[in-house]
Amino acid sequence: MKTFILLTKLSADTAKQIKDRAKLGRNWLEQVKEKCPEVKFIAHYAILGEYDFLDIYEAPDEETAAKVSMISLANGAYQALSLIAIPYKRFLELTEEISRQGLIV
């Protein structure tokens, strides 16, 4: 499974529905579980800054990650940014591979 990061920013209308936030979040999660049962959530954070929420999850491929983003957009997200994450240990292994090939100093 690949690790993905999803950053979402709520639409102005959705952001105003503070008292319904828990219900809206549960509905979103139920839809993700129904449409993408292979997704495993690792963490969910409300964040300060340009985006409102950050999710870290595992999915088998980029197409599944795209579905998670689309479900977010269909449920009140104004913006959804999906990123693929490489574990740091694996990143170091890749760096070593490239170094051995003489591609970096």
pTM as predicted: 0.86
Six-digit token string for 38: 């292979």
The predicted-structure confidence for 57-102, as pLDDT tens digits, reads as follows 999 999 999 999 999 999 888 999 999 999 999 999 999 998 888 7
* Per-residue pLDDT at 4 exceeds 80: yes
Q: What structural domains does the chain harbor?
A: 2-100 (3.30.70.920)
The pLDDT score that the predictor gives to residue 45 is 97
The predicted-structure confidence for 19-65, as pLDDT tens digits, reads as follows 888 888 899 999 999 999 999 999 999 999 999 999 999 999 999 99
Under DSSP, is residue 47 helix (H, G, I), strand (E, B) or coil?
coil
Q: Kindly provide the b/e burial profile for residues 68-103, where b requires at least 16 CB atoms within 10 angstroms of the residue's own CB.
A: bbebbeebbbbebebeeeeeeeeeeeeeeeeeeeee
* Per-residue pLDDT at 105 exceeds 80: no
Taking the CB of residue 27, how many other CB atoms lie within 10 A of it?
13
Element spanning 85, H or E = strand 77-85
The pLDDT score that the predictor gives to residue 19 is 82
The predicted-structure confidence for 10-19, as pLDDT tens digits, reads as follows 888 877 777 8
For residue 82, give the nearest of 105, 66, 98 by alpha carbon.
Answer: 66
